[in-house]
Amino acid sequence: MSATAPEYSIDVRGLNKHFGKKHVVNDVSMRVERGEIFGFLGPNGSGKTTTIRLMCGLLTPDSGSGTCLGFDIRREQAEIKRRVGYMTQRFSFWEDMTIRENLDFIARLYEMPNRRQAVDEALEGLGLATRSAQLAGSLSGGWKQRLALAACMIHQPELLLLDEPTAGVDPKARRDFWDELHRLAAKGVSVLVSTHYMDEAERCHKLAYIAYGRLMTQGTAAEIIAEQGLTTWTAVGDDIGALSRALQGKPGVDQTAIFGAELHVTGKDAPALEATLRSETAGSQFKIAQSQVGLEDVFIHLMALSQDNFGAAA
């Protein structure tokens, strides 16, 4: 642990990063509290991974400053790295070694004095003990994910960086994984996680939406939804695709999105949106009702707003 115990695991201001002519991270400022699960959302290629690495001293910003776990992200990167666990999109381990051998090797890399005890605790803590002799290459996606989490937790980091950790695993494995993250957070471990799943976003304490290097919004799910000032109506009936097409460009309609058998119609001008919907569905078989604005409605809206940023960041 750092000598002081700062209120914020991450406290950064004005971070910028270029790769060639592309402005990948554009003036990002953010704070993450101890024991907080902070979710990153945004389109592919939007700068989420680069932002996470900058905030934690794994990349050096072109400009900006801040601390991670109380250490300066520019001058004390080695100290930060010893206290961080990083789980990439592709699980990294040796497929021809057993689960135990993989964890033992990682414990050696961290020069842990009680290596065997640390491995045993990691196996027990994540339910891997009965499979400890199984080759890593033979594991299913969910078990590989569990091994990857055990590997990045074995040195008892204060901060976890998780880059789309549940991509390609089944729903039960995803739920078990998130239950484990909340157990870790309750013990004071901070978690930064990028995800495309709205059900996972709703399980984060705070969220940030990043698009093409710019931080467009951050806060709790409720704060982000309220901030956008959107109204959503739901339409149900046969051929909702035809209704979606008919509504495009009409007054008050900012976006339409099909969710199963329902059409979500969203906009900022609530009276105009309602008038358009009632006019377009009058005398038809469609049933319409105002519904609660969800995170997915908000993020589809933000994605539409973010398109102009692509040219600036390219």
Q: Has residue 105 got a pLDDT over 80?
A: yes
* Sheet bearing 231-236, strands edge to edge: 255-259, 262-267, 231-236, 287-291
Domain that residue 52 falls in: 8-224
Q: Residue 135 contacts by C-beta under 8 Å, 6 or more apart in sequence?
A: 95, 96, 97, 98
The predicted pLDDT at position 145 comes to 82
Regarding whether 235 and 112 lie in a shared domain, the answer is no
- Residue 77 CA neighbour count, 13 Å, CB half: 11
pLDDT tens, 62-89?
999 999 999 999 999 999 988 999 887 6
Tell me the two tokens of residue 220.
Answer: 């709790």
Beta bridge partners of 19: 22
Regarding whether 272 and 214 lie in a shared domain, the answer is no
pLDDT bucket at 170, cuts 50 / 70 / 90 = confident
**Mean pLDDT, the chain, integer:** 89
Inter-residue contact 180 to 126 (CB < 8 Å): yes
pLDDT tens, 174-191?
888 899 899 999 999 999
CATH number at residue 265: 3.30.70
> Residue written as tokens 């078989």?
285
The predicted pLDDT at position 263 comes to 95
Q: What percent of the chain has pLDDT over 70?
A: 95
Tell me the two tokens of residue 194.
Answer: 């990028």
CA 38, CA 25: separation in Å to the nearest integer? Answer: 18
Inter-residue contact 196 to 43 (CB < 8 Å): no
Tell me the two tokens of residue 134.
Answer: 């199984």
Q: What percent of the chain has pLDDT over 90?
A: 61
Query: How many C-beta neighbours within 10 Å does residue 265 have?
Result: 28
pLDDT tens, 16-28?
999 998 999 999 9
Decide if 177 is inside a domain.
yes
pLDDT bucket at 309, cuts 50 / 70 / 90 = very low
Regarding whether 175 and 94 lie in a shared domain, the answer is yes
CATH number at residue 70: 3.40.50.300
